[in-house]
Amino acid sequence: MEYLNFQNVKRTYQTGNDEVRALCGVSFDIKEKQFAVILGPSGSGKSTLLNLLGGMDRSDGGQIVMDGMDITGFSGAKLTDYRRTDVGFVFQFYNLIPTLNAYENVNMAARIGRNPFEAAEMMKAVGLEKRMKHFPAEMSGGELQRVAIARALVKNPKILLCDEPTGALDSETGKMILSLLKRMSREYGKTVVIVTHNAAIAPAADKVIRLKDGKIEGIQVNDNPISMEQVVW
């Protein structure tokens, strides 16, 4: 079995008398250290999938195994521990704490990791060693996302999950962020899963999983992915 494995995973939402089958039996795998993209239109189930993988929600069927751990069988406390220490999150709107400066935002995450990196080292790795004392309100979107990447990686998680990480950025800054994510994932040996509706980045990923209406539409493996700089947005 590969590092990350989804086996017939299902998630149905119940709202009143209505049922929405957000994931209808999804199966795929991702190798350790792969840079994978989950691609699909709005409503295809991408966020649902990421929430299950990140331990923020539970499936109603199937199995999710990550690094030998069956997270679908985890108790509440174990799932919280998994979410805190094994998963790094990067969100579209950064989700930084506005009252803490950039360094403090990253350092706070370092304190919850099992074997964390130094916050200052991470700030340097994302090219923000000169912005450590800046508050979120004093930074550009691209800088905020770089802080968010440093925060996600500093706790030394097993996997990095990114939900539309370039959704709020212009195309040049978006490319810079994706290229940073890819470089950091290679440098620090992390498995990365990016959820997006932007098909342009597919050729730059090691693996592309296409979702439609809660089902897998296709899976593509790129043995020689192009660099992010070559992506035509």
Ligand X SMILES: Nc1ncnc2c1ncn2[C@@H]1O[C@H](COP(=O)(O)OP(=O)(O)OP(=O)(O)O)[C@@H](O)[C@H]1O
Task: Report the nearest approach of ligand X to the CB of residue 115 (Å).
Answer: 32
Are the CB atoms for 210 and 204 separated by under 8 Å?
no
Q: Among all chains, which residue has been given the structure tokens 């990196």?
A: 117
Residue 109 dihedral angles phi and psi, to the nearest 5°:
-70, -35
Task: Report the nearest approach of ligand X to the CB of residue 79 (Å).
Answer: 18
Task: Report the nearest approach of ligand X to the CB of residue 62 (Å).
Answer: 16
CB-wise, 22 or 159, nearer to ligand X?
Answer: 22
Task: Report the nearest approach of ligand X to the CB of residue 163 (Å).
Answer: 8
Question: Within 10 A of 4 (CB to CB), how many other CB atoms are there?
Answer: 21
CB-wise, 41 or 73, nearer to ligand X?
Answer: 41
Task: Report the nearest approach of ligand X to the CB of residue 30 (Å).
Answer: 18
Are the CB atoms for 196 and 39 separated by under 8 Å?
yes
Handedness of CA 22, 61, 31, 85 (dihedral sign): positive
Task: Please list the alpha-helical segments (H only) found in the chain.
Answer: 46-53, 76-85, 102-110, 119-125, 141-154, 171-188
CB-wise, 141 or 167, nearer to ligand X?
Answer: 167
CB-wise, 55 or 136, nearer to ligand X?
Answer: 55
**Which residue ranges make up the site for ligand X (CB under 6 A)?**
13, 15, 20, 22, 40, 42-48, 197
- DSSP class of residue 169 equals S
Handedness of CA 123, 128, 130, 132 (dihedral sign): negative
Task: Report the nearest approach of ligand X to the CB of residue 22 (Å).
Answer: 4
- 26/20 Cα distance (integer angstroms): 15
Q: Among all chains, which residue has been given the structure tokens 């039996």?
A: 25
CB-wise, 47 or 85, nearer to ligand X?
Answer: 47
CB-wise, 30 or 153, nearer to ligand X?
Answer: 30
